[in-house]
Chains A and B, each alone.
Chain A
């Protein structure tokens, strides 16, 4: 019963849809190319310049005097860490924000990242843990924090605003745990503990990167496989369920995968401030809101960390860890979001 009018409309819808799809793919490619360019540039530039030919030879495993150490041992792990941590934070942040239909619901604002930091600091200072056991503890505690926030916010269903408020409360509680622990810390522990508080890719080693390098494809893959369900959840639980989405399953899978990803990334690079929070909204500016934000956000997150770290290292009078730079970007944006939601009369 396709009338000419319907057929014509279908044609014009198809044209519009293809145009949006092309635009989206162009944006994703531009992000990807920028990321690769940024990666190449950070390998070449630094205190000294290394020509591209030398960089390639180092990457192929040759021993290049002068370049093997700077590029192979310093710049490469640092750049790889920036990218995998940024991808993880961006992906997990967008998954949280989409699932809870709220920009403020990112893991760094609702206390998930704080869970990892607090666990690590307490483990280092009070129990003398180090290395993998700190990371394991951090991952377990952030999962527990996620479950706790979820349970406390649960009231016949999960409401985004309530979850955010509970999360902010938990974050404040964890912050005070960290502050108390640091006051009791001996000097030798303090250095190690501080690394868990401000995100940094400084002195990244392959030992720190490898667990995240394994976790990212596994849990990132799980998140991407749920992209369509997540998009449908944006229309509310009822509509999503009526469209055949297993709402409870999707929520649990996404919550666990995103939390584990944030925990691994935090264990590797510390809680790089606001990357999870910022990546989604920035990516929205590029791709609009018709389709899943997961991939654009992941790429944006990686670019944020890579560029933020470069700025922090070389473009400012003294050196700052990347978390300070992204924090300086994120805080004004947080205020902007709150002011805007007040102005439109909306709730959180």
Chain B
């Protein structure tokens, strides 16, 4: 169980003159899984980027353990907080173990040598993501599901207590989506890693997250436990869509059934 606190204070951010986040206040639960959901262009990815300082906020602060992340030394931050962006680039011809090993970058200076600790961190990350058998394969030959597991392994090898992930399940079929979320849950339970991720699928978010955050047009809409957040009213306000929310018989969490114009029994 880690006790790093991550707090967003009155955060404004955007790209050039276009402002995306309009003053967000948010406190992430330490040692828990938080899922951020919202319509397209509601600012989910921007929030994640601003939290991990890929994007400088135009106003407001992101505080990690009470310190502004945009003022921490880059490497020091990278030892505490990791981020897996939406479509990372695998260099041509790189092998799985080499890519995972790159996650150790923040633990090395210009002249420091690779150590046993590094090998063990890489091995543990590959073991946890079940990518051990792929060690010598080139990343560009892998399937989408395997590749995503390898990227998660790289983020794990970084050994951070806080991990941000931008849509880690995009482009994966349903079994691989569940697999990725299971791996992240394992990580959360065994190492106590605080996980914050942007997800598209409301039902998977509801099932896997301890805390559900909904964004709407750059503002925080709701934040709380899935059973309090995922309601018919929330979906109407955030996505502009009618739905029915039932109880997921497997997890006991809310489950959303969309109501379109067809095939809804009416």
Contact = CB atoms under 8 A, between A and B. Distances in A.
- A and B bound? yes
Interface of A: 1-3, 5-7, 9-14, 16-17, 101, 156, 225, 228, 231-232, 234-239, 241-246, 284, 288-290
B53 interface: yes
Interface stretch (B33-41, B97-105, B203-211, B217-225): B97-105
Nearest to A232: B105
B216 interface: no
Nearest to A15: B119
B110 A241 contact: no
Interface of B: 15-16, 49, 52-54, 74-79, 82-85, 88-95, 97-99, 101-103, 105-106, 108, 110, 114, 116, 119-120, 122-124, 126-127, 132, 135-136, 158, 190
Q: What 5 pairs between A and B have smallest CB-CB spacing?
A: A244-B78, A10-B123, A244-B75, A238-B85, A242-B83
A244 B81 CA distance: 10
B105 A244 contact: yes
A3 B128 CA distance: 11
A289 B53 CA distance: 29
23 contacts: A5-B132, A9-B126, A9-B127, A9-B135, A10-B119, A10-B122, A10-B123, A10-B124, A11-B119, A14-B116, A14-B119, A16-B136, A17-B101, A156-B16, A225-B110, A232-B105, A235-B88, A235-B102, A238-B54, A242-B85, A244-B76, A244-B79, A290-B95
**Residue with the greatest number of chain A CB neighbours at <10 A, chosen from B95, B119, B135:** B119
B88 A236 contact: yes
A246 B122 CA distance: 23
Contacts of B101: 17
**Residue with the greatest number of chain B CB neighbours at <10 A, chosen from A2, A228, A239:** A239
A14 to B, nearest CB: 5
Contacts of B110: 225, 228
Given A2-B124, A10-B119, A241 B79 contact: no
Contacts of A11: 119
B217 to A, nearest CB: 21
Contacts of A243: 78, 102-103, 105-106, 158
Contacts of A2: 120, 124
A289 B82 contact: no
Contact of B120 (A7, A156, A284, A288): A7
B105 A228 contact: yes
Contacts of A290: 94-95, 98
Contact of A13 (B78, B84, B97, B103): B97
A13 B88 contact: no
Given A3-B127, A156-B15, 20 more contacts: A2-B124, A5-B132, A6-B124, A9-B126, A9-B135, A10-B116, A10-B119, A12-B135, A13-B122, A235-B89, A236-B85, A238-B54, A239-B84, A241-B52, A241-B53, A241-B54, A241-B74, A242-B83, A244-B79, A289-B93
**Residue with the greatest number of chain B CB neighbours at <10 A, chosen from A6, A232, A284:** A6
Contacts of A101: 89, 91
Contacts of B108: 228
A275 to B, nearest CB: 21
B132 to A, nearest CB: 5
Contact of A6 (B77, B92, B127, B135): B127
**Residue with the greatest number of chain B CB neighbours at <10 A, chosen from A12, A241, A242:** A242
Contacts of A235: 88-91, 99, 102
A162 B191 CA distance: 43
Contact of A242 (B54, B97, B114, B190): B54
A10 B125 CA distance: 10
Contacts of B126: 9
B89 A234 contact: yes
A6 B54 contact: no
A244 B120 contact: no
A140 B106 CA distance: 36
Nearest to B103: A243
A14 B95 CA distance: 14
Contact of B74 (A231, A237, A246, A288): A246
B193 to A, nearest CB: 13
**Residue with the greatest number of chain B CB neighbours at <10 A, chosen from A10, A16, A101:** A10
A232 B123 CA distance: 20
A239 B89 contact: yes
Contacts of A244: 74-79, 105-106
A195 B132 CA distance: 56
Contacts of A289: 91-94
Nearest to B120: A10
Given A5-B127, A101-B91, A236-B88, A13 B83 contact: no
A288 B77 CA distance: 32
Contact of A236 (B78, B89, B103, B123): B89
B26 to A, nearest CB: 20
Contacts of A9: 123, 126-127, 132, 135
Contacts of B122: 10, 13
Nearest to B83: A242
Contacts of B98: 290
A290 B97 CA distance: 10
A6 B103 CA distance: 17
A11 B106 CA distance: 22
A154 B78 CA distance: 27
**Residue with the greatest number of chain B CB neighbours at <10 A, chosen from A16, A232, A290:** A290
Nearest to A9: B123
Contacts of A228: 105, 108, 110
A241 to B, nearest CB: 5
